[in-house]
């Protein structure tokens, strides 16, 4: 019966019953070694031994005598705790197999304090040998059952992780993902209080929590996120944050992907079972799934937002292109060419050509500080003002001052506009202009065969209120004259040696190619700039030029 049994409790209880029943032993106990801790413990006791089931003591295998089949208490009293020494047990039979020491069968003297005859001691020794084999077999079966349970648990955990991974991949709603994560922790691991901390937009934030109270400081969040171990028990921390202690968080589990990390904080389990290494591995895998899936939602939101912005920028670019003159008016005898190449989808450069009436032609070019949408909005504002003011035939310099005051009052202090505009009287061929802090346009004077720069004007638009009036300059245009207006995206284009293209090169190119058409001159200059900076424009590029044929 003993050998066939796979129940260690059955073996130990029947071993004691046989000894006590056959040999009239008043009390007995069995001490066995715990396989996990290595400690000796009271596996079973009968009679008034005074030994509680929780009596344990440290007894390394190398210190336990096993050479003889039976020992007197006096021979091994040094390794026995006081509770065993005072229990009245006198004989200790060694329970061992050929490979391991399992423990001791401890018995008291026979009733009436008699001694056991040799044949009874021999009977007990043989019974202990049989019981040792039975106990060894039952322990092996117990280990196999435990291994099977662990294997079943692993299979269940893998199935859980597979199902969660499949659900996460099918989800785009972050709140749904967090709910699945919450229910898995509560249903699978029986965790009742937890939090999941990760860095969002550079700041540590708790993305999900359950059953917690109180607030956690950013300093505590950083301390938690900076933990080094894969998992850490809070009791092992030198100075745990009060938030963890207050909410009875007992362990922190770190998950990471590339340079990003997150931390899962967990309380005791509802079933009061301790967390094993296998449990922590499952939590790490679960946390990684949640972490990657949550990051996926942020990337998806970022992508959607980017696509939305690109769509809006495309619309903005279309609208901005409509603000440029199309087609460009070309009253005789003028040949006019213009181009705008924004460094982004929308830019802050502006040019315009307006025929206010049959007698006047307005030309303008401007460069708003900065790039992108803010600059384009200010450019659109300037374009609207010019279209309202140009038909009124106002004084050019005075009008520039009024435009400056409007821009100064309605724009941030860090936004300015370099601006040049002029008005050609088509009858007298007089070109009146005003330069508000812009790159001076280059004039090829065909009559003098020389280069001139149109710089008369005043300060940038929007920098200060108009305190000193703007001035205007005049040029009498003749056949063959060419005027090139440009923004600093052309003159300040840089090569690999950080050298600027410069206004001098523009003047030299104009002097060399002034006999060509306006379109040809423009193309030559742009090709030279592109070759100079190898197409790496650092700013918006805009050019407006006209030639008198």
Q: Are 6 and 141 in contact, with CB atoms under 8 Å apart?
A: yes
Q: Are 307 and 278 in contact, with CB atoms under 8 Å apart?
A: no
Q: Give the tens place of pLDDT for each residue, 58-83.
A: 877 777 888 889 999 988 888 888 88
Structure tokens at 501: 């293209």
Q: Are 349 and 487 in contact, with CB atoms under 8 Å apart?
A: yes
* Ordered domains of the chain (ranges, CATH): 8-143 (3.30.450.40), 171-299 (3.30.450.40), 324-548 (3.60.40.10)
Structure tokens at 424: 């050609």
Q: Give the tens place of pLDDT for each residue, 186-196.
A: 887 888 899 99
- The mean pLDDT of 139-167, rounded to a whole number, is 74
Q: Give the tens place of pLDDT for each residue, 482-529.
A: 999 999 989 989 988 889 999 999 999 999 999 999 999 999 999 999
pLDDT at 53: 78
* Cβ within 8 Å of residue 129, ≥6 positions away: none
- The mean pLDDT of 382-408, rounded to a whole number, is 88
CA separation for the pair 3, 127 (Å, rounded): 11
Q: Determine which helix (DSSP H) or strand (DSSP E) holds 129, and give its type and residue range.
A: helix 118-170
pLDDT at 544: 95
pLDDT at 334: 94
Q: In what order do the strands lie in the sheet containing 260-267?
A: 203-210, 194-200, 260-267, 249-257, 231-233
Question: What does pLDDT average to over the chain?
Answer: 86
Whether the predicted pLDDT of 401 surpasses 90: yes
- The mean pLDDT of 426-446, rounded to a whole number, is 95
CA separation for the pair 126, 105 (Å, rounded): 12
Whether the predicted pLDDT of 290 surpasses 90: no
Percentage of the residues of the chain whose pLDDT score is greater than 70: 96
Q: Are 124 and 131 in contact, with CB atoms under 8 Å apart?
A: no
- The mean pLDDT of 314-327, rounded to a whole number, is 77
Stretch among 37-51, 284-298, 407-421 having the lowest mean pLDDT: 284-298
Judged on CB neighbours under 10 Å (0-12, 13-18, 19+), 243 is: buried
pLDDT at 308: 81
Q: Is 451 helix (H, G, I), strand (E, B) or coil?
A: strand
- The mean pLDDT of 425-449, rounded to a whole number, is 95
pLDDT at 343: 73
pLDDT at 427: 92
CA separation for the pair 17, 131 (Å, rounded): 13
Whether the predicted pLDDT of 372 surpasses 70: no
pLDDT confidence tier of residue 412, bands split at 50, 70 and 90: confident
- Give 63's DSSP letter: G
pLDDT at 439: 94
Stretch among 79-93, 168-182, 271-285, 331-345 having the lowest mean pLDDT: 168-182
CA separation for the pair 91, 107 (Å, rounded): 5
Q: Determine which helix (DSSP H) or strand (DSSP E) holds 182, and give its type and residue range.
A: helix 174-188
Q: What is the pTM of this model?
A: 0.54
Q: Are 67 and 61 in contact, with CB atoms under 8 Å apart?
A: no
- Give 498's DSSP letter: S
Report the 3 state secondary structure along 247-315: CCEEEEEEEEECCEEEEEEEECECCCCCCCHHHHHHHHHHHHHHHHHHHHHHHHHHHHHHHHHHHHHHH
Stretch among 31-40, 108-117, 314-323 having the lowest mean pLDDT: 314-323
- The mean pLDDT of 461-478, rounded to a whole number, is 92
Distance of CA 74 to CAs 71, 82, 84, 312, 395, Å? 8, 13, 12, 93, 124
Q: Are 111 and 23 in contact, with CB atoms under 8 Å apart?
A: no
pLDDT at 486: 95
- The mean pLDDT of 125-134, rounded to a whole number, is 89
- The mean pLDDT of 94-123, rounded to a whole number, is 88
* Cβ within 8 Å of residue 223, ≥6 positions away: 241
- The mean pLDDT of 147-163, rounded to a whole number, is 72
Q: Are 276 and 251 in contact, with CB atoms under 8 Å apart?
A: no
């Amino acid at each position: 019966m003993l050998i066939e049994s796979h129940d260690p409790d059955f073996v130990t209880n029947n071993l004691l019953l046989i000894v006590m029943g056959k040999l009239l032993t008043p009390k007995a106990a069995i001490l066995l070694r715990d396989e996990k801790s290595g400690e000796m413990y009271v596996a079973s006791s009968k009679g008034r031994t005074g030994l509680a089931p929780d009596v344990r003591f440290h007894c390394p295998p190398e210190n336990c005598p096993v050479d003889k089949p039976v020992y007197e208490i006096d021979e091994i009293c040094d390794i026995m705790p006081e509770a065993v020494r005072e229990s009245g047990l006198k004989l200790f039979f060694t329970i061992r197999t050929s490979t391991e020491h399992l423990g001791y069968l401890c018995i008291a003297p026979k009733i009436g304090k008699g001694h056991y005859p040799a044949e009874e001691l021999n009977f007990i020794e043989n019974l202990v040998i049989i019981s040792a084999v039975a106990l060894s077999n039952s322990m092996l079966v117990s280990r196999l059952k435990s291994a099977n349970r662990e294997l079943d648990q692993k299979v269940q955990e893998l199935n859980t992780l597979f199902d969660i991974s499949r659900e996460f991949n099918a989800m785009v709603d972050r709140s749904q993902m967090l709910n699945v994560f919450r229910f898995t922790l509560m249903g699978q691991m029986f965790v009742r209080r937890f939090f999941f901390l990760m860095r969002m937009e550079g700041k540590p934030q708790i993305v999900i929590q359950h059953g917690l109270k109180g607030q956690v400081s950013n300093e505590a969040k950083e301390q938690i996120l900076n933990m080094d171990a894969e998992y850490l028990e809070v009791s092992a921390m030198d100075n745990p944050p009060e938030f963890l202690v207050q909410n009875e968080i007992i362990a922190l589990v770190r998950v990471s992907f590339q340079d990003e990390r997150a931390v899962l904080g967990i309380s005791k389990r509802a079933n009061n079972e301790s967390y094993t290494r296998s449990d922590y591995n499952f939590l790490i895998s679960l946390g990684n799934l949640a972490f990657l899936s949550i990051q996926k939602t942020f990337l998806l939101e970022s992508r959607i937002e980017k696509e939305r912005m690109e769509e809006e920028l495309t619309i903005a670019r279309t609208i901005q292109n409509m603000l440029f003159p199309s087609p460009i008016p070309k009253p005789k005898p003028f040949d006019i060419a213009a181009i705008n190449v924004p460094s982004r989808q929308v830019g802050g450069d502006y040019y315009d050509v307006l025929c206010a009436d049959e007698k006047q032609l307005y030309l303008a070019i401007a460069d708003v500080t900065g790039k992108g949408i803010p600059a384009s909005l200010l450019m659109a504002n300037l374009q609207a003002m010019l279209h309202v003011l140009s038909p009124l035939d106002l004084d050019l310099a005075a009008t520039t001052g009024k435009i400056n005051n409007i821009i100064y009052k309605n724009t941030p202090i860090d936004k300015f506009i370099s601006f040049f505009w002029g008005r050609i009287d088509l009858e007298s061929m007089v070109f009146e202009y005003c330069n508000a802090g812009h790159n001076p346009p280059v004039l090829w004077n065909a009559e003098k065969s020389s280069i001139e720069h149109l710089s008369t004007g005043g300060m940038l638009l929007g920098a200060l209120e108009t305190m000193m009036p703007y001035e205007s300059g005049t040029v009498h245009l003749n056949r063959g004259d060419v005027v090139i207006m440009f923004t600093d995206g052309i003159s300040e284009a840089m090569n690999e040696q950080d050298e600027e293209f410069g206004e001098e090169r523009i003047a030299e190119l104009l002097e060399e190619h002034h006999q060509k058409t306006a379109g040809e001159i423009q193309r030559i200059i742009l090709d030279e700039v592109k070759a100079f900076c190898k197409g790496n424009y650092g700013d918006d590029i805009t050019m407006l030029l006209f030639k008198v044929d």
